[in-house]
Amino acid sequence: MRVSMKLRPLLYFLVAWTAVAQTGTRPRPVKTWVDPDHSEPAGMHYRTFKSRLAGNEVSYLIHLPPDYETNTSRRYPVMYWLHGYSANPRAASMFVNPLDDAIRSGKAPSMIVVAVNGVAASYYRDSVDGKWPVESMIVKELIPHVDQTYRTIAKRETRAVEGFSMGGYGAAHLGFKYPDLFGLVTIGSGALSDSEGLGPQHKSENGGKSVMSLAPKAYFEQNDLATVIRRNADAIRGRTLVRMTVGGDDGLLPNNQALHELLTQLKIEHEYEVIPGVGHDSGRIYGILGDRKYALYLRAFK
């Protein structure tokens, strides 16, 4: 399985370039369950919880809405934000930083945001060898921990997942694989090239096949994105709100277009927006969307 654990060179480049475009430096990946940097970005709190599956503490960042400490009888919807490849949960700052003002002005619903630790390169799946059960940790432990620790509205209709690049793939993977957990899925420039049937695969030493196609059959059937969507289409259709955004100059556009076409074919209602003149750049996309990025949350959480 050595080859199957590799990611395509184009994806390395795209994600690294995104970080440079946004910050002027390459991202500092978190490759362990606990981020050694305990600092707290503006509006966010550093927390850990004990994970049996990881056999360790697992860190995450959380944003609590402006009235959380004063309105102690209120419960809130939750959005799980997934970072990109070779990045870390602090990338959620680009969503969280303007959120409080948007909540106060009524442009965004009052909600909790959990920035998940995807240990740099997990694609938010359990690893084939079982050593990094990231998906299971999120679904079986992190979500229950958040619901037990904070005043959430613990229902699928008020639980969302959003991400960019690898995180966009993760949002699609978790949201469509677990439609009874998530009622809203937001896919930003999804790094979808590891899935069969979602557009052209990039050339590599494996002959252009997707990494997922080289996995054991049982793992493929449980995790290939197109396969998961087809299998769960009836549970998604009419129940899950879906939004996709991607830059018009993004090298991942063909695969995002293919996912849009698959959802259309399966009659799964969704929003799909191609933003002209933008590459693989989450900062620019969020900036161009402005307050529109909250519209689906207002619709879902009102």
pLDDT of 275 reads 97
pLDDT of 21 reads 42
Percent of the chain with pLDDT over 90: 80
pLDDT of 10 reads 42
- The CATH code belonging to domain 3-301 is 3.40.50.1820
pLDDT band at 210 (very low <50, low <70, confident <90, very high): low
pLDDT of 233 reads 98
161's CB contacts (< 8 A; 6+ apart) are 79, 80, 82, 170, 171, 174, 175, 182, 184, 185, 186
Over range 221-249, report the average pLDDT: 96
Question: Of 196-210, 230-244, 270-284, which gets the smallest average pLDDT?
Answer: 196-210
Q: Is the pLDDT of residue 24 over 50?
A: no
Amino acid in position 211: V
pLDDT of 204 reads 40
Average pLDDT, the chain: 88
Q: CA 95, CA 283: separation in Å to the nearest integer?
A: 9
Q: CA 244, CA 261: separation in Å to the nearest integer?
A: 12
Q: Is the pLDDT of residue 87 over 50?
A: yes
Over range 282-301, report the average pLDDT: 95
269's CB contacts (< 8 A; 6+ apart) are 237, 238, 242
pLDDT of 302 reads 79
Strand 45-51 relative to strand 56-63, pairing: antiparallel
Q: Is the pLDDT of residue 240 over 60?
A: yes
- Outline where DSSP puts E strands in the chain: 45-51, 56-63, 78-82, 112-116, 159-164, 184-188, 241-247, 271-275
Question: For the chain, how far is it from start to end, CA to CA, in angstroms?
Answer: 46
Q: CA 256, CA 187: separation in Å to the nearest integer?
A: 9
pLDDT of 200 reads 53
Question: Of 29-38, 157-166, 255-264, which gets the smallest average pLDDT?
Answer: 29-38
Q: Is the pLDDT of residue 20 over 80?
A: no
- Tell me the domain boundaries of the chain: 3-301
pLDDT of 31 reads 86
Which DSSP helix (H) or strand (E) runs through 151?
none
Q: Is the pLDDT of residue 8 over 90?
A: no
pLDDT of 22 reads 42
Q: CA 157, CA 54: separation in Å to the nearest integer?
A: 28
